[in-house]
């Protein structure tokens, strides 16, 4: 919501506009500031610019650039051998001396979030005087991920002024600031060939938008040449189960070209036959995993159980391009060692990075009514790239760099759901106690390995556990109920016709807890139930009460071996 300005504030901004229109930069101030700042900027930020030969040496021009940092106008300015004029948020002009200094070196204010005709008029006046104006079409700083979406203002300026537009890409400046501290960072720029458009006195919003749509890919091209992260355009999904199919639908909804990979041709036919029921769009191409165009994908999604990750990675891992992001959906541990999915995949594929999907995201509901999910990854740009896609598909997305916590929280909620269902015949109190103890033991493991407590308390942990406990179609809850009925872990997959990851994960989790020397009697007893070492009745009897109090002490590292 735009802020309300007093008449005095408006008058002050108008004075800055009028001063820059009539006088331009203050020559003495400009020369002094440039003499001081240019060598500092070039050295401290190691400015590397390409394509400067495309910058017109005289006459009006619009420098249209992406915006990563407050430093962008300055690093662009040192590459242009004459004064440039650029917009700056109006708040920077609130302090009189600071506002005067900015105005003196070529800045003029813009009211962000509003249709600022005064700013447009100033830019047009400067261009009519043959001066260079820097415009940031995104309208605000986009610090992470791919470039943002442009606004049509740059198209309007190009049409009304008739000035050539130089596409500019800037990268690296987003790394210069941490809090109030300015750090040395390498700033790289690339200038493209100027583009010109016929002059139109009063272009319609549609026409201005069309011109912007033609300009922006030129800036995007310079950005990608600098190694900037491109927007996600194509997705390859391995695994056509409920979650894989749901993600295919969501990615298609966000405008991506999507291929959904099935294990066999028969599975392809099954998915095709269920298109209408699963709401899978016609644009999604259903193929076998061998036929997936993994080499062309920007996002490769591994929507398979953790136990199937080794086979999936062996099949397509070497084909994943270095520029791609891998999205790991598995909520469990990878056998035989109990490796976290992101660690397993990251060590074996050449992709740019791995991002993990966590949180309560029941597949069918995510497609029909949306969901709140967690994206965890070490690379903030990759997280933002995927967050943009999922947000465009209608999901609410939280981001975190706590990969360990997110993955172990997903593992913990599956194990806790299994424990609760297996103990449920003894009553709701027993089910709650079993879930709480298993969940708490997994959290201790996560904290020892560097996770943050708030991850388990948030969407990825408690939120996901509640959703699993309530969901009628929860595979892990159903697996626990079947264990309580006396079925063995080997018999359950045939009954479910799906994989309940907790059956594979609980013994691995117990082993990891034992190797860390953590007290984990609840998980250890649950692992014994899964392996068939104890009966369901014995598990239920040991959940709570004097007779069945969990054994204290440490679990030996041999558990699960």
How distant is the alpha carbon of residue 319 from its chain centre?
Answer: 23
CA distance 312 to 293: 14
Which residues, in sequence order, are CB contacts of 315 under 8 Å at separation 6+?
A: 238, 289, 290
Of the residues 95, 149, 413, 448, only one is catalytic, namely: 413
Which residues, in sequence order, are CB contacts of 220 under 8 Å at separation 6+?
A: 147, 230, 231
Length reported for the chain: 561
Beta bridge partners of 399: 375
CA distance 155 to 212: 5
Element (H, E) at 267: helix 265-273
Report the candidate in 445, 447, 444, 439 with the shortest Cα–Cα distance to residue 465.
439
What is the DSSP secondary-structure string of 441-462? HHHHHHHHTT--HHHHHSIIII
How distant is the alpha carbon of residue 111 from its chain centre?
Answer: 29
CA distance 316 to 517: 37
Token pair listed for 320:
């994943």
Quote helix, strand, coil % in the chain, to nearest 5: 50, 15, 35
How distant is the alpha carbon of residue 368 from its chain centre?
Answer: 22
- Which phi and psi (to 5°) does residue 259 adopt? -120, 135
Report the candidate in 399, 225, 408 with the shortest Cα–Cα distance to residue 323.
225
Taking the chain, what is the end-to-end CA distance rounded to the nearest angstrom? Answer: 59
413 belongs to the catalytic site: yes
Cβ-in-10-Å burial (0-12, 13-18, 19+) of 288 comes to middle
CA distance 561 to 559: 5
Beta bridge partners of 109: 88
- Which phi and psi (to 5°) does residue 401 adopt? -100, 5
The answer to whether residues 292 and 261 touch, using CB atoms and an 8 Å cutoff, is yes
Q: Parallel, antiparallel, or unpaired: how do β-strands 165-171 and 188-191 relate?
A: antiparallel
The answer to whether residues 91 and 110 touch, using CB atoms and an 8 Å cutoff, is no
CA distance 231 to 213: 15
Spatial strand order in the sheet of 132-135: 48-50, 188-191, 165-171, 61-65, 132-135, 85-89, 107-110
CA distance 442 to 555: 13
Element (H, E) at 235: strand 234-238
Active-site positions? 413
């Amino acid at each position: 919501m735009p802020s309300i300005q007093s008449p005095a504030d408006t008058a002050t901004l108008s004075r800055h506009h009028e001063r820059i229109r009539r006088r331009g930069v203050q020559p003495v101030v400009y020369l002094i500031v440039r003499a001081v700042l240019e060598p500092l900027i070039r050295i401290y930020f190691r400015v590397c610019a390409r394509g400067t030969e495309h910058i017109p040496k005289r006459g009006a021009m619009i420098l249209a650039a992406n915006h990563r940092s407050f430093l962008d106008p300055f690093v662009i300015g040192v590459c242009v051998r004459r004064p440039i004029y650029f917009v700056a948020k109006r708040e920077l002009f609130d302090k009189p001396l600071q506002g005067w200094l900015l105005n003196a070196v070529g800045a003029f204010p813009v009211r962000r979030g509003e249709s600022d005709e005064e700013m447009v008029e100033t830019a047009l006046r400067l261009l009519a005087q043959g001066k260079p104006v820097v415009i940031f079409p995104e309208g605000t700083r986009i610090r992470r991920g791919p470039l943002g979406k442009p606004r049509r203002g740059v198209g309007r300026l190009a049409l009304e002024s008739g000035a050539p537009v130089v596409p500019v890409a800037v990268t690296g400046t987003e790394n210069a600031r941490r809090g109030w501290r300015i750090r040395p960072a390498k700033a790289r720029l690339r200038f493209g060939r100027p583009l010109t458009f016929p002059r139109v006195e009063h272009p319609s919003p549609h026409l201005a938008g069309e011109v912007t749509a033609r300009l922006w890919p030129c800036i995007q091209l310079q950005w990608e040449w600098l190694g900037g992260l491109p927007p996600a355009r194509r997705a390859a999904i391995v695994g056509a189960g409920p979650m894989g199919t749901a993600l295919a639908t969501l990615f298609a909804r966000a405008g991506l070209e999507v291929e959904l990979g099935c294990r066999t041709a028969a599975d392809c036919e099954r998915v095709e036959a269920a298109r209408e029921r699963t709401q899978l769009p016609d644009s999604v191409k259903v193929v076998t995993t061998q036929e997936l165009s993994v080499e062309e994908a920007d996002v490769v999604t591994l929507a398979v159980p953790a136990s199937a990750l080794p086979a999936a990675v062996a099949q397509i891992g070497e084909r994943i391009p270095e520029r791609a992001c891998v999205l790991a959906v598995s909520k469990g541990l990878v056998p035989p060692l109990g490796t976290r999915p992101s660690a397993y995949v990251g060590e074996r594929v050449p992709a740019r990075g791995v991002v993990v999907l966590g949180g309560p995201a029941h597949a069918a509901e995510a497609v029909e009514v949306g969901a709140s999910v967690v994206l965890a990854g070490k690379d903030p740009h990759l997280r933002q790239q995927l967050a943009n896609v999922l947000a465009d598909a209608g999901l609410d997305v939280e981001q975190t760099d706590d990969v360990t916590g997110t993955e172990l929280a997903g593992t913990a909620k599956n194990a806790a759901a299994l424990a609760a269902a297996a103990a449920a015949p003894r009553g709701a109190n027993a089910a709650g106690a079993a879930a709480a103890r298993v969940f708490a033991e997994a959290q201790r493991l996560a904290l020892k390995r560097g996770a943050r407590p708030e991850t388990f308390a948030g969407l990825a942990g408690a939120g996901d556990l509640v959703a699993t406990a309530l969901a009628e179609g929860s595979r892990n809850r159903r697996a626990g109920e079947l264990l309580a009925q006396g079925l063995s872990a080997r018999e359950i997959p045939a009954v479910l016709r799906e994989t309940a990851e907790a059956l594979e994960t609980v013994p691995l989790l117990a082993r990891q807890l034992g190797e860390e020397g953590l007290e984990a009697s609840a998980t250890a007893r649950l692992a014994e139930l899964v392996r068939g070492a104890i009966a369901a009745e014995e598990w239920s009897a040991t959940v709570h009460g004097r007779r069945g109090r969990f054994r204290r002490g440490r679990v030996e590292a041999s558990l699960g071996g």
